[in-house]
Amino acid sequence: MRVLGLVPARGGSKGIPRKNVRPLAGKPLLAYTAEATRQSRSLDRVILSTEDDEIAALGRALGLEVPFRRPAELAADDTPGMAPVLHALGWLADVEGYRPDALMLLQPPSPLRLARHIDEAVALLERESADSVLSVCAPDYHPYWMKVVRDGRLVAFMPEGARYHSRQELPPVFRTNGAIYVARVDPLREKQTFELERTIPYPMAREESVNIDDEFDWWLAEQLLHARGA
């Protein structure tokens, strides 16, 4: 199975400006994803999708292919996440005649993701004959015990949570962690989503699942990377 790795990295990030090229624990954020793909045994090609000249140059230096520039209108704040995926698949098919069997989306804000996670997710996709595999982890807090404000009062978000009095009794739940999305290309293009008829989870540890959206996430990722290096 030919699996295309796609790394989306636009220049206009708002939460942390220029975060894809900003040094994290001594290396640009983009470098962590590039290194994981380089060490993976499961990816046929790895393409960087960007509209930004600096990011494109950094990507090439890190060993990523940059065969095209993403159109600026597909790099806006409100661009749907699937738009760069469909653009890349369309460009590669039309210009190069390249049509992979599956595509893995690898977002740079997940710097704790390793090559083994990539390889294990691809193996899971093949072994289970799944349509897609999404990486997940345990949430920081169980949704059954979360609260909302209604008419000025603090009430249970999910009333059925009142049945559970200890953490050990709670049913297991998961959240997608943003590290890995991999899907077979035909249903991916048809449905235009990674959540397909047969989507299965790939569990990751919480300490591998930091997805950088703000400065606290950046600090946390840096501490975990330093600890991993030690």
In tens, the pLDDT along 113-135 reads 999 999 999 999 999 999 999 99
pLDDT, position 230: 54
With pLDDT > 90 as the criterion, what percentage of the chain qualifies? 87
| Sequence-ordered strand ranges (E) for 9-162 | 23-24, 27-28, 45-49, 102-105, 132-137, 147-150, 153-156
Lowest mean pLDDT of 2-11, 20-29, 160-169, name the range.
Answer: 160-169
Locate the domains of the chain by residue range: 3-137+175-229, 139-173
CATH class entry, domain 3-137+175-229: alpha beta
In the numeric block, the tokens 């606290």 are attached to 216
Residue-wise over 146-164: b if at least 16 C-beta within 10 A, else e?
eeeeeeeeeeeeeeeeeee
pTM, two decimal places: 0.93
- What are the start-end ranges of the H helices in the chain? 29-39, 53-61, 82-91, 115-127, 185-191, 215-229
| Mean pLDDT of the 28-48 span | 98
